[in-house]
Structures are given as structure tokens and as C-alpha cells.
Amino acid sequence: MSASEDKHAPASAVAVADDAPDTAAAPDATSGTDVTGTESTSSDSPSPKAAEAAEAEGSQQRTFRWWVARFPRLAWCVGLAVAGVVLFLCYLHLSRTERVTSDGASNALQAWDMLHGNPLLRGWTVTDVSFYTTELPEYMLVEAIRGLHADVLHVSAAITYTLVVITGGLLARGRATGREGIVRMLIAAGIMIAPQIGPGVFILIFQPDHIGTQVPLLLTWLVLDRAPRYSPASKPLTRTWYVPVLVSAMLAWVEVADRLAVLIGAVPLAVVCAVRAYQAVVQRRERLAAAWFDVSLVVAAGVSVEISDIVVKQIGAHGGFSVLPVASGLSPVSLMSNHSWLAVESVFGLYGADFFGMSSPGLAALIAFAHLFGLALAVWSLWLVIRNFFRCEDRIAQVLAAGIVINLAAYLLSTTPTTYWSARELAGLLPAGAVLAGRMLSGRLQRARLVPALSVVLACYLAALGYSVTQPSRPSFTQSLANWLVTHHFSYGLSSYGVANTTTLSSGGAVDIRSLTWSGNVAAPGPYEFDRAWYNPQAHDANFVVLRNHAVAANGITAGQVRAVFGRPSRVYDVGSYLVWTYNTNLLDDLRLSLPLTAG
């Protein structure tokens, strides 16, 4: 018997024994015939096609289970992306309802210069806020795609505010999931979703200002909130050592661009974590290891301030931009009342609830009154955190509440409040209050069964956003002047700060108008947001000056001052609201190199 036959014989005998009498089984079992055994093996083993079909079915089932397991997360990502696109388009149109001015135009020109070989902004003098690591990179990206024109401000502002709303919603959600997480996000995003037409849009969705600072700050708090939970029982350095390092780096990143981030970011973090460390070590008498994480965050906050200061100084030492000093004087007591009312109106305006001064109770007034609900939620949540500050377990809520209090106190005590537009210094109160409302009130509102009422309010806010989007767009302040200058082939001239950079941006760089500052009858580059290379008479030939077409001074420039420095013009053009004085000489030869700089 062959090896094959020997192998199949036992199986063959068993197979026959199941279907035939014992007497018939014996001859077959000893006959050496392996036909029966072959048939049995063939019936027990699946065919190649059946195996492939089973494998394909198993693969399909595994793929289906993979998609089912990840569908909620994918749905979240797709939902956020869709919401982000819709919000961006709405905010883009809202931003276009405001007219471009020189502050935003100056930042657009800085980004253009960085994009074309001057990353350190050599020769530039900026205000006390450079936006170097926040809005300027964003402007560079937009300009690389769309070129240099006034709409750069609107596109960038829409991107920034969209990120504020989305990151604020994510921070409000925290680690909550399901219905709780959704309600938290909708509360925070809903409070911010519909800025008030006019001053609200100007401060929140227009040119670079302190609202852009909130994006990296919210991201910093989001990293801190989502970091692994530290507990003294675990090995602290194995799970959380990188969090203070990352937080310090992120704070330094935003502090380089805006020193206000020290006041509303680093200081609140240091204060909160110092209090928590003191409670752990001194009051509860726990081991120092129990306070390791909070102590490390205090150090991280301090290190971030030092790093940002070194970075700015090193940029200047290597020929980069110069920053004007921050106005840091304290206000006299006699101005406290005025500052307080400005703060109240500013906060109402940031939350879209500024009804002060409205002449008639129309639709705008109804929208403002509806936003009082969002403001009330923010105030309520802030009060809850302050009342239980030393017992609050939510570190992020403590940091946000401390930031709000410190920001308001600094605003009231400083010389900053002068007009309603000073509200930009308080821009961080909106996302901070909205996030607090989401984190602190979601559970209370659900237990009180107020979610349907919240849905109605959110629907009203969305309707207000839709109404705002229907408002007409407006060109920049000097768009007509820029068009005239381009048409008549003017290329390089001088004017006041309020006219110069705006016109340059509005012309898409086809016309360059450089700003001047005046001291009596002396003219010099400035007062800020300028590049000294612009005033080099060997490189440029400025042969015209633009003035306002009325007798009063425009940004400190009068016809008499222009005539005293540059003489009588060879020709004067009347261009609507402006006068264009032309000369046959290079006006840059008559400028003084500089005048004393003032604090921004």
C-alpha cells in the first residue's frame, strides 16, 4: 500500500461503516481502494471559490465594523468642516460691510513684504502690537493665493472669527460626550455666532486686533484641557511632562505678537495654578508631588513671558521690526466713571446687545435685546466660578474667569479707554464668557429642561446672522481715490496715515502712498506702521501729496503745513473728497529722517 493509500484507509473504513453493514465494511476496508476516502476529504474541505467567498465576506464585515466604530468621529469632523465653511462665507460678507482703513491695510502691506523676501520686516516700525506670529502669517497665506488687494482683510478676518467660534465651541465641550457635549458646544458657539452689525463687526470680524489673539489662546487652553489627567498616584513625569512645555511654547507664540496675551493668558494661568498648588501642599498637606503639575504650569507661564521678550528683542537686534512701547499709565480717579460706562457699553457691544443710543425700536433693537440672553448666560457662569473659585475643580474655567476679571480691571485702571472703539482691548471677554457659559451651565439648563428654550434663542441668533448677511458690502475709504490715481498714472506720493496705506492696498500696489507725521512745520516718516526704505530718495521719487478736500486738518496735515515744507504745488486736482497736489521735484528730499516716537 502506498503512503497515500495508507493515509486514507482509516477514514475510508469509518465512512463506509456509517452507511453499510459490518459484513460489507471489511472487504472494502482491506481492498486498498481509496475512492471513498477521497470523496470524504473532498466533502470536508471547502473549494477554493468557497474559501475566497468566505474571505471576501469576512473582509466586508470587518470593513463595515470599522466604519460603524468610527462613524461618530467622522460625522463630527464632517459636521465641523461644513459648519466652518458656512460660517466663513457668512463672516466674509459681514466683514465686507465695513470699510477698509489704514490699520488693517498696514498689516496687509507688512505680510506682503514678508512674502517677498523680508521675513523679519527689516526697517519697519509697528505699533505696540505686531501680530507677527498670529495674523501676519494668515495674511501671507491669503495674499499668496489671492494677491494684494483690500479683500485680503475681509478674507483673513472671516477665517479668524470662524476659528474663534469653532475652537470656542470645542473648548466649551471639554471632555463631555453625547448630548452633554453637543449642548455645551451650541451654547458657546451660539453666543458668539451673530456679531452685531456696525461696531460689533468692526471689532470682531474686520482688521487685525485682539480678537485674533484669542485663537492661539483658545488652542492653548484646549491642549491643556485635553492633556492626560495628572494624579499623584501615577508617575507624573511619564504622562504629563510635555504639557507644561507645550503650553509655554504656545503662550510664547502668541505673546510675541500681542503683549495683551501676557495679561489674559500667562498671568491668569500662573495665578490659578499657584492657588491650586497652595491648596494642595499647604491647606490639604499633600506631598509636593501632588502639586507638581500646577507648579510646572506656573513656571511655564513665567518662562513664556521671558521667551517672548527675548524673541522680540532678538528680532530687533537682527535688524527686524521695531515695536512702539505699550501705553502703561494709570488713569486718574476722575476718569473712573467714564471708563466704567465705556466698559459696560463695550461688553454689551461685544455680545451683540448694544442697544444704547438706538433711536427707534426696530429690528436692530430686537436683535440687540435677543443677545441679552447670551450676555446673561456669560455673566451667570462667571459668577458661579468666582463664587466657588477656591472649590472649583475645572482648571480651564478658573483660568478663563481670572482672565476676564484681570482684563476688566486693567481696562478700567489704564488710560486705554477713550472711545467706544477701545472695546477691542476687551475682545477676549466674548469667547471667554461664551466658553464659561457652555462648561458651567449646560447641566443646569438640561436639568431645568430649558434646552427647547435654548433652541429657540439659537434659532433667533441664526436668523439675526442671516439678516446681517443681507446688508450691502462697502468699498474701502479711499477706493475712489485709488481708482483715480491708477487711471491718471500716479505712482508714488505722500499723505496722512489715514489715507496712505489704505490707498496703497486699495490700488493693489499699483500706487504707493507713504504716510507722514508732522511736528509744526516739520514732516517725517510715520507715525507708525511704515518702512524706512519707503522714504529713500535714491530709490523712490514722490511727486504728489494727497490732502482732504476741506479746511480742517486730516490726521494732523493741513494745507499750510504742506505748503511750508514742500512749497506751492505745480498743479492741484480736485478728486471728490480729496485734493492731489503735484510737484516737479522729489518730495522725499525735504523730509526729516525721524521724529520722536510716541507710545501706541
248 found inside a domain? yes
Question: What's phi and psi for 531, nearest 5 deg?
Answer: -115, 125
Give me the sign of the Cα torsion angle 506, 476, 342, 527.
positive
Residue 99 contacts residue 207 (beta carbons within 8 Å): no
Residues 159 and 257 in one domain: yes
Q: How far apart are CA 576 and CA 269, in angstroms?
A: 53
Cell numbers standing for residue 19 = 452507511
Cell numbers standing for residue 49 = 471559490
Question: What's phi and psi for 519, nearest 5 deg?
Answer: -135, 100
Residues 342 and 274 in one domain: yes
Residue 385 contacts residue 403 (beta carbons within 8 Å): no
What's residue 1's pLDDT? Answer: 43
What's residue 15's pLDDT? Answer: 36
What's residue 552's pLDDT? Answer: 53
Per this entry, what is the length of the chain?
A: 600
Residues 369 and 318 in one domain: yes
Residues 177 and 254 in one domain: yes
Residues 439 and 514 in one domain: no
63 found inside a domain? no
What's residue 194's pLDDT? Answer: 95
Cell numbers standing for residue 555 = 490726521
Residue 11 contacts residue 40 (beta carbons within 8 Å): yes
Indicate the residue among 469, 497, 531 that finishes a domain. Answer: 469
Tell which residue, 201, 213, 193, 301, has the closest CA to residue 261: 213
Max distance between CA atoms of the chain, in angstroms, equals 136
Number of domains in the chain: 3
Residues 456 and 534 in one domain: no
- Measured CA to CA in angstroms, residue 371 lies from 189, 349, 400, 506, 554 at distances of 13, 10, 21, 35, 37
- Amino acid letter, residue 135: E
What's residue 339's pLDDT? Answer: 87
Rounded average pLDDT per 10-residue block, the chain, 600 residues: 41 37 41 43 61 71 68 80 95 95 94 96 93 96 95 96 97 92 96 92 88 96 86 55 94 96 97 95 88 94 97 94 82 86 92 83 88 96 96 95 96 86 91 97 94 94 94 92 96 94 95 90 88 94 90 65 92 93 94 58
599 found inside a domain? no
Residues 539 and 509 in one domain: yes
Q: How far apart are CA 538 and CA 468, in angstroms?
A: 49
Indicate the residue among 427, 442, 469 that finishes a domain. Answer: 469
386 found inside a domain? yes
Indicate the residue among 469, 494, 521 that finishes a domain. Answer: 469
24 found inside a domain? yes
What's residue 560's pLDDT? Answer: 87
17 found inside a domain? yes
600 found inside a domain? no
Residues 456 and 565 in one domain: no
Tell which residue, 555, 547, 498, 548, has the closest CA to residue 103: 498
426 found inside a domain? yes
- Measured CA to CA in angstroms, residue 147 lies from 115, 179, 533 at distances of 11, 44, 22
Residues 434 and 374 in one domain: yes
Could you give the dihedral angle defined by the CA atoms of residues 259, 528, 102 and 161, in that order, rounded to the nearest 10 degrees? -10
The neighbouring-strand residues paired with 516 are 525
382 CB contacts (<8 Å, ≥6 apart)? 401, 404, 433, 436
Residues 312 and 368 in one domain: yes
549 CB contacts (<8 Å, ≥6 apart)? 574, 575, 576, 577, 578, 579
Q: How far apart are CA 254 and CA 257, in angstroms?
A: 5
| DSSP secondary structure of 204-230 | HTTSSSHHHHHHHHHHHHHHHHHSPPP
- Amino acid letter, residue 173: R
Domain that holds residue 506: 479-590
Q: At what angle do helices 102-115 and 497-506 cross, to 10 degrees?
A: 50
Residues 156 and 304 in one domain: yes
Q: pTM, whole model, 2 decimals?
A: 0.86
Residues 465 and 485 in one domain: no
| DSSP secondary structure of 400-456 | HHHHHHHHHHHHHHBS--SSGGGGGGGTTHHHHHHHHHHHHHHHHHHHTT-HHHHHH
